[in-house]
Amino acid sequence: MEYTIIGSTRLLTDENITNAGIAGTRVMPLLRAANKLHSAVCELDSNGKSCLAAHFPEVLTVAQMYGQTSYLLNGLEETTP
């Protein structure tokens, strides 16, 4: 099984988003959107995740970029785009 690990500077954290030059007023809305996307992806069964990875790999990547910010979240490392 392949694993996808997102580099620490590409994780969706408030610090990384701010450092990327995004206005501070947009950081929380972006993190909330990523949280909702991550939750939706986590609720997919393995077939759904595979289909998502095959047809919309960017969606899976964003969910991983958010999920891997904390050990409390499912980082979706086992799902490869």
- pLDDT digits over 34-80, tens only? 999 999 999 999 999 999 989 999 999 999 999 999 887 877 877 66
Residue 1 has pLDDT above 80, yes or no: no
Q: Which pLDDT does position 75 carry in this prediction? A: 77
pLDDT of residue 78: 74
Q: What is the pLDDT of residue 77?
A: 77
Helix-, strand-, coil-residue percentages of the chain, each rounded to 5: 60, 0, 40
CA distance 1 to 3: 7
